[in-house]
A and B are shown apart, each in its own frame.
Chain A
């Protein structure tokens, strides 16, 4: 049998993978905030289903929660479709309304039962191994069973409808003209998001659901420009955040879900700064490189214009560049050095001369 520690990690890894798969398409469709809304409003579905069925074990709770997630998406569309408010505001209006309605219903009608609003937000992964079920003679934590179900379902849906999802995400108008209804694909994806959120938030809370649906795909987006790689990387990053978060939580003795969400955030921050092409650092380097290359071109052009003229001795003196081209002394030094290294100019005493290569560069400009 697995130890509780291993079970917690396994649950976290499986839920992370299950969340990132639909998360990739949420991020690409710029609908990341819908995961926020859905992962909260499902509570209303649970509460309503509980009030109808009077049982916390009823499968109706699950159905009600998933349905409420989809209803949330629909309501957001109705509100933003009125053109009176934009979509971001519509999300901000619909989700607190439904969530607070759920909180009111709990405090009014279900105060004595275990529907605790704190655990909705953060979950308690450490307790997940104690809530067990036995299926086909195997004793498993409930979260592991349902999490695996969500992961397998999401993986199958992605494999079956990859082409349709990609098309409807990239170009919904083309999808529509080709007969792939973007609305069906949209609501299919949202049902999968809702189902995953319902499954996951029981164990890890809604904050971690959002973190796992949004942060790994957003990180992967910075690291690759191929969709299959983005999906693979998202899963790997989600799993890494789950595992590293678990060990950080044990080490610092803090909330496991909180630590996992933090690790997902740190992973994104690292990619944001250091991603090879799109990271802030790489972009700053590219920008500097472009600026210097342009300055070298300016330098060769300037030297070409004054080549052989009577004032060449003055015009082609490095100190003159500082005045003429309005360069800072340190920048002028760097550019002269770079031009020399590239073989465009050479020094003759104090004066800069173009090489044959430098002359060719300047003439091509």
Chain B
């Protein structure tokens, strides 16, 4: 099996407090993978360390067998919506065009090709009508779709998304999941930090359970079990499905930003 992402022995510490401890994770190509775990489990840290935004204390990350720095163009990143200032004076179209900047490189300016790519990406998330809006006028769900469009404009092979379903409306959630399935159908790999355990079996093929350490990772059918969930959440989950595979699960609503 070809692995899109291979993470080995990844350890990240803030000061002397470990946020991730010796994590191994392999993401096969062409899957939708959820990363789940309680608040402060290091889910966002895992994403950021994978993308080189945080320097790990130890371990390595390979994207299609190469270090991230050599594979930037294969990777798109959708950060948490709250990570940017939505009062920034710019338009929806302009934000989506930023997804093309990596291919442009330093000094070259975006032109018609970038504009068209951005409009096509907005079309995919049903936001084309908003192209010329100021970004501050968008609802939370619309903001999330703009971020998704920006990642689509990158035309990458692997998509990393941090809590894309956090606080969005039902229309947006459906639009996002539709786009994710289209990406998978096109052979792309999608890794999503996710907090709603109930939707994991419906939305994803693979799941990684993280709580500072990797608890388990693999196909949802095999790994998303009551035992593993208890090991991850420390018994704070109430499991409603009785057959051992956790079909419907509730958990205390996690806040974003862990």
Interface segment among A9-17, A225-233, A310-318: the answer is A225-233
| CA–CA, A170 and B147, complex, Å | 13
Is A280 at the interface (CB under 8 A from chain B)? Answer: no
Is B75 at the interface (CB under 8 A from chain A)? Answer: yes
Compute the total of residue contacts between A and B using a CB distance below 8 Å: 72
Interface segment among A63-71, A159-167, A235-243: the answer is A159-167
The distance from the CB of A28 to the nearest CB of chain B, in whole angstroms, is 7
Q: Which residue of A lies closest to B15 (CB)?
A: A83
The distance from the CB of A149 to the nearest CB of chain B, in whole angstroms, is 22
- Size class of A's contact patch? 20 to 34
Q: Which residue of B lies closest to A83 (CB)?
A: B15
- CB distance B79 to A227 under 8 Å? no
Q: Which residue of A lies closest to B76 (CB)?
A: A177
- CB distance A177 to B75 under 8 Å? yes
What sequence of 0s and 1s flags, for each residue 156-187 of chain A, a beta carbon within 8 Å of any chain B beta carbon?
00001111101101110110111110000000
Are A171 and B79 CB-contacts (below 8 A) given A178-B72, A179-B102? yes
- CB distance B88 to A178 under 8 Å? no
Find residues 91-110 in chain B having any chain A CB closer than 8 Å to their own CB: 91, 94-95, 98, 101-102, 104-107, 109-110
Is A224 at the interface (CB under 8 A from chain B)? Answer: yes
How many residues of chain B get a CB closer than 8 Å to chain A's CBs? 30
Main SS at interface, chain A? helix
- CB distance A174 to B106 under 8 Å? no
Residue in A28, A161, A174 whose beta carbon sits within 8 Å of that of B88 in the complex: A28
Are A180 and B53 CB-contacts (below 8 A) given A173-B79, A225-B136? no
- CB distance B79 to A174 under 8 Å? yes
| CA–CA, A226 and B133, complex, Å | 10
Is B77 at the interface (CB under 8 A from chain A)? Answer: yes
**Cβ–Cβ < 8 Å partners of B98 in chain A:** 166-167, 170-171, 174
Residue in B77, B90, B134 whose beta carbon sits within 8 Å of that of A174 in the complex: B77
Q: Would you give 8 A-B contacts (Cβ < 8 Å), ordered by A?
A: A160-B107, A164-B101, A166-B90, A166-B98, A170-B88, A170-B90, A174-B98, A229-B89
Which B residues fall within an 8 A CB radius of A? Answer: 48, 51-53, 69, 72, 75, 77, 79, 83-85, 88-91, 94-95, 98, 101-102, 104-107, 109-110, 134, 136, 150
Which A residues fall within an 8 A CB radius of B? Answer: 28, 160-164, 166-167, 169-171, 173-174, 176-180, 221, 224-227, 229-230
